[in-house]
């Protein structure tokens, strides 16, 4: 009998598919819908200290093999967000609170709030590829990442997962710093810094000019990062970037991931994507004689 349950630190998931941050994770209603469609866990939209409107349109555009977005971290702010969390009691899968801040104090404050609201884990969005003051200034420095994780870990007892970037420097150095800071796992990778130019208007399409590229096009980069992180770190790695099919999910797990996040594919394939990936993975495991995720996780590293 095949069991696709997985474990990320102390977090137990009934299957390895997780809703990625930024897609349907802002309201209680949308989170309930995702949970009822078979996801193993949910990551909320990234929440900051204060309400933010984000950038004017255009903030997202479909491009070759994926989506380019620069929303500008729009969110209701941590105080207002409590109302949504108060209404998700019936969700029976782990909900991971994504937070962004300008320094370790803000991250620690926000993490504590998320824990008080009853969430199951924290994802540190310290690598947004385009939000000035909240992204790569933090996520590309091993010293700052170590410090942010350390301060957050002092404040909360739920698991903490920093989301890493492949945009700058060596992701393994950043991963090691996160591990030294006490991270319970890492998420790889955030969207890639990218741009699309409208050849008729002769200028960048996005209002913010530069955005983050996600979807199928970034999968080979993300799989490489998961592979390298899994080889070098002792903590769990969660893969994200271009997971659309069960084959994609299996590839990430063979590279060492214990779970995968799904974002852009929710737009392309709808909410049935979680159940479809789980069904396909179960069939593949049966055909290959694997009874659990652990039986084939990281096999490509050997």
The residues annotated as belonging to the active site are 128
Q: Are 259 and 266 in contact (CB under 8 A)?
A: no
| Residue 142 is a binding residue for ligand SIN (CB under 6 A) | no
| Residue 73 is a binding residue for ligand SIN (CB under 6 A) | yes
Q: Tell me if the bond preceding 40 is cis, omega within 30° of 0.
A: no
Task: Give me the sign of the Cα torsion angle 265, 39, 54, 186.
Answer: negative
Using the contact rule CB under 6 A, the part of the chain among 5-13, 104-112, 124-132, 256-264 near ligand SIN is: 124-132
* Strand positions, DSSP E, 5-59: 6-8, 11-13, 17-19, 41-43
| Residue 101 is a binding residue for ligand SIN (CB under 6 A) | no
Q: Measured from the CB of residue 208, what is the shortest distance to ligand SIN in angstroms?
A: 8
Which residues within the stretch 203-262 sit at the binding site for ligand SIN (CB under 6 A)?
Answer: 212
Q: Measured from the CB of residue 263, what is the shortest distance to ligand SIN in angstroms?
A: 10
Q: How many residues bind ligand SIN (CB under 6 A)?
A: 13
| Residue 125 is a binding residue for ligand SIN (CB under 6 A) | yes
**103-to-41, 130, 292 alpha-carbon distances in Å:** 27, 16, 39
CB hemisphere CA count around 165 (13 angstroms): 25
Distance CA 42, CA 62 (A): 24
Q: Measured from the CB of residue 48, what is the shortest distance to ligand SIN in angstroms?
A: 10
Using the contact rule CB under 6 A, the part of the chain among 31-39, 67-75, 141-149, 265-273 near ligand SIN is: 67-75
Burial 48-73 (b: 16+ CB within 10 A, else e): bbeebeebeebbbeebeebbbbbbbb
Q: Measured from the CB of residue 167, what is the shortest distance to ligand SIN in angstroms?
A: 11
Residue numbers at the binding site for ligand SIN (CB under 6 A): 22, 46, 69-73, 125, 128, 131, 190-191, 212
């Amino acid at each position: 009998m095949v069991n696709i349950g997985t474990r990320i630190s102390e977090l137990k998931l009934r299957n390895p598919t997780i809703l990625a941050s930024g897609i349907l994770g802002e309201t209680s209603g949308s989170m309930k819908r995702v949970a009822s469609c078979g996801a193993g866990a949910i990551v909320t939209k990234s929440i900051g200290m204060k309400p933010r409107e984000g950038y004017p349109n255009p903030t997202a555009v479909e491009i070759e093999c994926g989506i380019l977005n620069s929303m500008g971290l729009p969110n209701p702010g941590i105080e207002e967000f409590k109302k949504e969390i108060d209404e998700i009691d019936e969700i029976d899968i782990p909900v991971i609170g994504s937070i962004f801040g300008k320094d370790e104090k803000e991250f620690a404050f926000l993490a504590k709030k998320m824990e008080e609201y009853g969430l199951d884990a924290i994802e540190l969005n310290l690598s947004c590829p385009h939000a000035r003051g909240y992204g790569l200034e933090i996520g590309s420095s091993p010293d700052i990442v170590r410090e942010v994780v350390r301060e957050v870990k002092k404040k909360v007892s739920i698991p903490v997962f920093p989301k890493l970037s492949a945009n700058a420097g060596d992701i393994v150095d950043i991963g090691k710093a996160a591990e030294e800071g006490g991270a319970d796992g890492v998420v790889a990778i955030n969207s890639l810094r990218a741009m699309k130019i409208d050849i008729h208007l002769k200028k960048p399409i996005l209002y913010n000019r530069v955005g983050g590229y996600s979807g199928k096009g970034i999968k080979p980069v993300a799989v490489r990062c998961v592979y390298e992180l899994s080889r070098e770190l002792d903590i769990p790695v969660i893969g994200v970037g271009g997971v659309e099919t069960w084959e994609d999910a299996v590839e990430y797990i063979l590279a060492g991931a214990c779970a995968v996040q799904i974002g852009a594919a929710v737009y392309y394939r709808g909410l049935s994507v979680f159940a479809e990936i789980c069904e396909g993975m179960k069939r593949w495991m049966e055909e290959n004689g694997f009874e659990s995720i652990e039986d084939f996780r990281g096999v490509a590293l050997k």
